Structure 1
């Protein structure tokens, strides 16, 4: 029998949380009045502004806007303003090329939905300079993914990986997005699934159904509903990233400032359907305790009371831990878990070829029958490198 634990009895803790000084920066950028000023004083007296981590640097535009609104004067304000302007310019370029893609897809009859920074700037931040973006994220229906990829390539967008048609179909089947670079050098992430670990054909139906119309540069598109947006932001922030994942906190606060009463019942339901109540309970508790967000107690209680399997606990702990702490085995297992989930419901035969297909995918083999030979080759090469010392090294005794 599967082992089940109560969230109340066994809270899951993420390693992926801000440091005290990063938290002070977030509070200075997001809160108001005495709380924001106190956090600002704590942060500026403790850090070297010339040597900030990338995650903190991304928050400087938001800090600049909040300090300016409160009438704070400081010699570094011009520096913060400069970061704001650079962010504004880069985002204008991303939106220009992203809107071009949205137009091409719309003209081809392919629906689109903005994700992450693009959606949040349009709906919550309302200023291109406040929220840093590495790329422009746009979602298309799963069944239109291959057509959308070909359309982008036709318009001279270069994909991150140049797959053969056979491997591309396997990639789309098992993954959630593919990165592209525009002719002018800007990045776009084309998604066909919202979440990277839920990649079955109909896993996004409720996200599409709960979305609402919007526009980007006058082009029709869609945006996730507030509850869905909050879920996406929190779950994306739960995954460890070498750049400190501070933006999910700012994004969540901006969502709740814009939509103070999202459909909480829907959020709990979506979290349960995707076995993510542990991650959402911790994220919302953190926002409530550290950023004064009015998360209803019954929502936290419902999430905490949901039984959590051993696998969900381990998967969450692995995803939120630095790669160096996971080790190769746990990282491999995590990716395999996500792959297995994408294969569920695809027929009885799929159960027998799930692991070989996973190896075919990560090794980028054209055909499934190539996997055993490639595995043998890799094993022989590894044994050879272990047995034969590099030239000039000491002989094995």
Structure 2
């Protein structure tokens, strides 16, 4: 089957109408940004806003200031911007320290997500709030990285790192202040061929921000990561992927659309990219060539890729027994595709071993395993 533009007009990862207004207030360069802001204010008057929406407010403040617009909420927006500025620079200081420690011990690192996107593509890093720092290292360096980071006061938040290294893509570290550092050894998770990361390393570029010197993904790979990470269900509505992607697309760094096409094919995320980028073009007039969409429309999409996209575009609350069973089938296929273990079925077994051993990681999958394989109350034993 090929891509159908009309497969679904509502995915859980798309911004709501209210959220889209807020994004336009932060991203549109003319007076329609003010109209969007006023419409958003009217719609949410008296209601609490989500954490995801709160993270967009520094960008809104900056854009409205450029348009010389102020209202009775301007002081609140200014405080949000100032708070984001302090937190972002704390995280970037942590990134610089961690990268220097790793480099001193021969561990190469690539800066990912907000730390890189905010400094490379936004007018100010403070316009892109973040809750942690993400670094990509090579799997063979994970043990050394864990050792030297621990000596520097960063504690690994994982009970079985050896098993985690085989079946997932990252682990969290925390320092005494509760600040987080996420170390990745694979860029992606919940996709096929997740262990194939050579393209990202060979395409990495230099990043310089104040005293920070490091490597980061090239522009095309950042766009790939932002869209594929954002265009999926999340406990925190991931609307800032829209702002990140728009900022990347507006930058002077050209996207290699052929490379993006190849990445989508390799990880079986072409359908995800198609719908994410189609939303950006329709909603924000993003500069995406029609030739790219045509190439994806002409691409045969496997049944498993279509199932994966559909499944991860739905909220967990709507999953029935069929969806849980489909998640099992998908993880079986994904884990087998991204492992050097022999026989490959062992990768799937180890994945569920990790799920059952973890208390705070992949709780969704633990519930899947429990519901499918263990007796439920009110049923025959």
What is the TM-score when the length of structure 2 is the normalising length?
A: 0.88
Distance in 2 (CA, whole Å) between partners of 1:108 and 1:216 is 22
Residues 124, 355 of structure 1: alpha-carbon distance in 2 compared, 3 angstrom cutoff? closer
Matching of residues 271-282 of structure 1 within 5 Å: 271-282=264-275
Does the aligned pair in 1 maintain the 2:195–2:338 contact within 8 Å? Answer: no
Matching of residues 375-390 of structure 1 within 5 Å: none
In the TM superposition, what whole-angstrom CA distance separates every residue of 1:304-327 from its partner, at most 9, and x where no partner exists? 221111111111111121111124
Distance in 2 (CA, whole Å) between partners of 1:174 and 1:348 is 10
Distance in 2 (CA, whole Å) between partners of 1:325 and 1:104 is 44
Residues 239, 328 of structure 1: alpha-carbon distance in 2 compared, 3 angstrom cutoff? farther
Distance in 1 (CA, whole Å) between partners of 2:172 and 2:89 is 19
Which of 35, 52, 56 aligns to 2:53? It is 56
User: How much does 1:46 deviate?
Assistant: 1.7
Q: What does residue 152 of structure 2 align with?
A: 155
Q: What does residue 105 of structure 1 align with?
A: 102
State the superposition RMSD in angstroms: 2.6
Does the aligned pair in 2 maintain the 1:115–1:139 contact within 8 Å? Answer: yes
User: How much does 1:260 deviate?
Assistant: 6.0
SS in 2 for 1:24: helix
Does the aligned pair in 2 maintain the 1:343–1:350 contact within 8 Å? Answer: no
Which of 75, 80, 93 aligns to 1:78? It is 75
Which of 162, 165, 170 aligns to 1:169? It is 162
In the TM superposition, what whole-angstrom CA distance separates every residue of 1:11-36 from its partner, at most 9, and x where no partner exists? 36533211111111111110111332
Q: What does residue 39 of structure 2 align with?
A: 42
SS in 1 for 2:288: coil
Correspondence 1:203 to 2:196: yes
Q: What does residue 16 of structure 2 align with?
A: 19
Correspondence 1:313 to 2:303: no
Which of 211, 222, 229 aligns to 2:222? It is 229
SS in 2 for 1:150: helix
In the TM superposition, what whole-angstrom CA distance separates every residue of 1:317-357 from its partner, at most 9, and x where no partner exists? 11121111124663574366346424337568423434432
SS in 2 for 1:241: coil
Does the aligned pair in 2 maintain the 1:12–1:313 contact within 8 Å? Answer: no
Q: What does residue 370 of structure 1 align with?
A: none
Instruction: Could you tell me which runs of 5 or more consecutive residues in structure 2 were left unpaired when the two chains were aligned.
Output: 359-369
SS in 1 for 2:319: helix
Matching of residues 229-378 of structure 1 within 5 Å: 229-259=222-252, 261-327=254-320, 330-331=323-324, 333-334=326-327, 337-338=330-331, 340-344=333-337, 346=339, 349-364=342-357
What is the TM-score when the length of structure 1 is the normalising length?
A: 0.85
Q: What does residue 366 of structure 2 align with?
A: none
Q: What does residue 146 of structure 1 align with?
A: 143
Does the aligned pair in 2 maintain the 1:278–1:304 contact within 8 Å? Answer: no
User: How much does 1:154 deviate?
Assistant: 2.3
Instruction: Could you tell me which runs of 5 or more consecutive residues in structure 1 were left unpaired when the two chains were aligned.
Output: 366-377, 389-397
Distance in 2 (CA, whole Å) between partners of 1:178 and 1:336 is 24
- Structure exhibiting the larger radius of gyration computed from Cα positions: 1
User: How much does 1:96 deviate?
Assistant: 1.6
